[in-house]
Amino acid sequence: MSAGVAVRIENVRRAFDTNVVIARMNLRIEAGEFLALLGPSGCGKSTLLRMIAGLDQPDAGTIATEPVAGRFQRAFVFQDAHLLPWRNVLDNAALPLELMGVEREERGAKARAALEKVNLAEANDRYPAQLSGGMRMRVSLARALVTEPQLLLLDEPFAALDEITRFHLDVQLRELWRERRMTVVFVTHSISEAAFLADRAVVMGKRGGNISLDRSMALPEARTNELRADPRLGLVMKMLLGAIEE
Interface positions with ligand ADP (CB under 6 A): 16, 19, 21, 39, 41-47
| Residue 65: CB minimum distance to ligand ADP, A | 20
- The residue among 100, 111, 169, 186 whose CA lies nearest residue 144 is 111
Of 155 and 199, which CB lies nearer to Mg ion in the complex structure? 155
Binding track, positions 34-53, relative to Mg ion; x by CB under 5 A: ------------x-------
Residue 21 binds what, of ligand ADP, Mg ion, none (CB under 5 to 8 Å, by partner type)? ligand ADP
Of 82 and 228, which CB lies nearer to ligand ADP in the complex structure? 82
Query: CA 157, CA 197: separation in Å to the nearest integer?
Result: 13
β-pairing verdict for 34-38 and 200-204:
parallel
Degrees, nearest 5: CA angle 61-62-66: 160
Residues across the chain = 246
Of 145 and 201, which CB lies nearer to ligand ADP in the complex structure? 201
Of 94 and 187, which CB lies nearer to ligand ADP in the complex structure? 187
Of 21 and 195, which CB lies nearer to ligand ADP in the complex structure? 21
Query: CA 68, CA 204: separation in Å to the nearest integer?
Result: 27
| Residue 210: CB minimum distance to ligand ADP, A | 13
| Residue 209: CB minimum distance to ligand ADP, A | 9
Q: How many residues bind Mg ion (CB under 5 A)?
A: 1
Residue 43 binds what, of ligand ADP, Mg ion, none (CB under 5 to 8 Å, by partner type)? ligand ADP
Chain centroid to CA 87: 24
> SS3 for 182?
coil
- Tell me the residue type at 144: A
Whether 182 and 216 have beta carbons less than 8 Å apart is answered as no
Residue 39 binds what, of Mg ion, ligand ADP, none (CB under 5 to 8 Å, by partner type)? ligand ADP
| Residue 31: CB minimum distance to Mg ion, A | 25
Question: CB under 8 Å to 189, separation ≥6 — which residues?
Answer: 38, 39, 40, 41, 156, 159
Give me the residues paired with residue 8 across strands: 28, 64
Residue 147 binds what, of ligand ADP, Mg ion, none (CB under 5 to 8 Å, by partner type)? none
User: Would you tell me which residues interact with Mg ion (CB under 5 A)?
Assistant: 46
